[in-house]
Amino acid sequence: MRTPRTISFFAVLVIVTVAVTYNSCNKKEETPTNTVPVLSTKIAADITNSSATVGGVVTADGGATVIDRGVCFGTSSNPNIYDDLTIQSGSGVGAFDCSIVALNQSTMYYYRAYAMNSVGIGYGDEKSFTTQGGGGGDLPTVSTSSISNITETTATCGGDVTDQGTSSVTARGVCWSTSVNPTTSDSHTSDGSGTGSFTSAITGLSSSTSYYVKAYATNSAGTAYGNQQSFATSGGSGTGCQGITTITDPRDGQVYPTVEIGNQCWFKENLNVGTRINGNQNQTDDGIIQKYCYLDDENLCDTYGGLYQWNEMMQYVTNNSTKGICPVGWHLPSNAELIFLTDFLGGFFEAGGKMKATGNTYWAPPNSGATNSCGFTGLPGGYRNDVGQFLDMSFTANFWSSSQVEETPSSAYADNLYHNATWANKTIPGKILGLSVRCVKD
């Protein structure tokens, strides 16, 4: 499932260029380049008072691999993947279904299918459905408080019951899970009864892990849920660079500058380690670190770093924050650590501009909002696709996390920066793709 984030609205800028060719009569022709995917939205089925089945059909990938697809939904019209809840459902073309749970009864929801490729995001037609009534009166009205006091294993949240419904609120609190749409069947607190605000202590969490939280309130009609909040617990390290400005990789003598962002210490350049193989080959578990260089050009690795399939990067283990192909004392960032990075930089919507190298030496115009104010110096190294082609240099920067997707273990979480946007987008590409790698200090 895609991580739902609350950010300011942003209209995705999709720049579609044309390549000019000439036919045998010397007549000028225009050949369009890749576009966003084309898809439709399925009619909702199996509607209950708290759940529904929705889905879509991706009929064309736009000429670039569909790396993420699913359904976004909310109680306002025109839901999108940035402002509303999203259920992810694999990748590629074809039909798919999603199950939405923990909905409020007697409520109209708007939804539409989405699909993402390297060009951008396509949406299907908007549809709506109304959940069934509970048959026992009106549910309470409750909202979820913001998250605070986050540590490795605890956090503080809470809520506000503004209307008890048609009967008294007998239980209230918050529920949480590592998956979206938590319910009281998941971990939860019990924080009294009645209306008004309350504070909840969330305990027993794992470090460097993403969580989703909702307030709840129960009366005789059933249980109502507030808006969803998300957060990530801190890691066991997070001590910054401690005066370290460069790191020399003892394996090949390469020197990487470092940058401290918040309490994290990051490589300031993409990792470039290993023996180059051609893009038409898959990297293998043979005891030798293998890398791709864009267009099979070693000189481009010197500038943009290597590109690695997820399993090669992980050195064929599946542990979050593993060392993988990073030097000793450094590790591959988990999805939670990437979330911390973007949150520290002002959130999903703003972080990309602060992470991108400025100007158009590397990035294609317009390089929207690029300030590199945090010193991350993201370069658009493109990626290697699932059939061995190299795409999108100058247009995208794509960074693996060490966190695979539980629902689709052939995919893993990644962060993407774009030449025509300021946001740092969370995607879940297939592990077979070749992406860039940054290391973070233990």
C-alpha distances in Å from residue 263, one per residue of 227, 231, 363: 29, 16, 28
- Beta sheet of 155-163, edge-to-edge order: 141-144, 155-163, 196-202
Concatenate the DSSP letters of all residues of 71-126 into one string.
Answer: EEEESSSS--TTTSEEEE--SSSEEEEEEE-SPPTT-EEEEEEEEE-SS-EEE---
Q: Please report the beta strands in 168-254, taking only residues with DSSP state E, as ranges in sequence order.
A: 171-177, 187-188, 196-202, 210-219, 222-225, 229-232, 246-248
Within its chain, how far is the Cα of 203 from the centroid? Answer: 25
Structural domains present in the chain: 18-130 (2.60.40.10), 141-232 (2.60.40.10), 246-441 (no CATH)
Q: Are 226 and 142 in contact (CB under 8 A)?
A: yes
Contacts of 373 by beta carbon, 8 Å cutoff, 6+ apart: 354
- Residue of 161, 127, 129, 158 whose CA lies nearest to 145: 158
Rounded Cα distance, 61 and 39, in Å = 9
Contacts of 57 by beta carbon, 8 Å cutoff, 6+ apart: 39, 40, 42, 94, 95, 96, 113, 124
Rounded Cα distance, 153 and 205, in Å = 4
Under DSSP, the state recorded for 215 is: E
**Encoded tokens for 350:** 């703003």
String of b and e for 128-138 (b: at least 16 CB within 10 Å)? ebebeebeeeb
CB atoms within 10 A of CB 360: 13
Rounded Cα distance, 103 and 55, in Å = 16
> What pLDDT is recorded for position 3?
36
> What pLDDT is recorded for position 50?
82
Helix and strand numbers (H, E) in the chain are 4, 30
Rounded Cα distance, 341 and 266, in Å = 10
**Encoded tokens for 408:** 């689709």
**Encoded tokens for 385:** 């696709």
User: Digits of tens for pLDDT over the chain (442 positions)?
Assistant: 333 332 222 233 332 333 333 333 344 444 457 889 999 999 998 888 888 899 999 999 999 888 888 999 988 889 988 667 888 788 889 999 988 887 888 888 999 999 988 788 899 999 999 887 765 568 888 999 988 888 889 999 999 999 998 899 999 999 998 776 788 989 999 999 999 999 999 999 987 677 889 999 999 888 888 887 877 776 654 568 988 999 999 999 999 999 999 889 999 999 999 999 999 999 999 999 999 999 999 999 999 999 999 999 999 999 888 999 999 999 999 988 898 898 888 887 889 999 999 999 999 999 999 999 999 999 999 999 999 999 999 999 999 999 998 777 899 999 999 999 998 988 889 999 999 999 999 8
Place of tokens 């009569």: 25
Kindly report the pTM of this predicted structure.
Answer: 0.60
> What pLDDT is recorded for position 1?
35
C-alpha distances in Å from residue 4, one per residue of 55, 85, 90, 139: 17, 5, 16, 25
Q: Which helix (H) or strand (E) holds 372?
A: none
String of b and e for 172-191 (b: at least 16 CB within 10 Å)? bbbbbbbebbbebebbbbeb
> What pLDDT is recorded for position 236?
52
